[in-house]
Amino acid sequence: MDIEDSVRIRHMIDAAESALRFVKGRSRADLDRDEMLHFALIRAIEIIGEAASRVSVEARSTSPGVPWPEIIGMRNRLVHAYFDVNLDILWRTVQDAIPVLLVQLKTIHLS
């Protein structure tokens, strides 16, 4: 893997791990009450998506199981429709999708 791609994957891993730390021991109701949690999760997902958009097409093609377009699309949605973030989707993404993605990214990074 190209060094730039490796750096971007590392950024994705770091942001994903941060998001999981932010929600550890927290509930969905906490997201409604805690503006800092809300903003922190959005920022982590934005970083994941921005880094994903900068991973080369060649590197992405070697990992077809990673939902690259969806990751990048979510980043775009959060950035451009910041006024209309669905907190249920945000929470489910962090709880359900990020752990799976993290395993995939670590596998890619080690290869």
In the residue annotation, 10 being an active-site residue is answered as no
In the residue annotation, 75 being an active-site residue is answered as yes
Q: What is the pLDDT of residues 1-49, one digit of tens each?
A: 899 999 999 999 999 999 999 999 999 999 999 999 999 999 999 999 9
pLDDT score of 40: 98
Q: Which of 11, 26, 54, 75 is catalytic?
A: 75
Q: Which of 21, 38, 54, 80 is catalytic?
A: 80
- Give dist(CA 107, CA 86) in Å, integer: 30
Q: What is the pLDDT of residues 59-90, one digit of tens each?
A: 999 999 999 999 999 999 999 998 899 999 99
Is 26 strand, coil or helix? Answer: coil
pTM of the model: 0.95
Q: Which sequence spans correspond to the domains of the chain?
A: 3-110
Produce one character per residue of 11-31: b if its CB has 16 or more CB atoms within 10 Å, e if not. Answer: bbbebbebbeebbeeeeeeeb
Share of the chain above pLDDT 90, in %: 94
* Strands in 1-111 per DSSP E: none
Q: Please check the confidence at residue 111 and state whether its pLDDT lies above 80.
A: no
pLDDT score of 1: 81
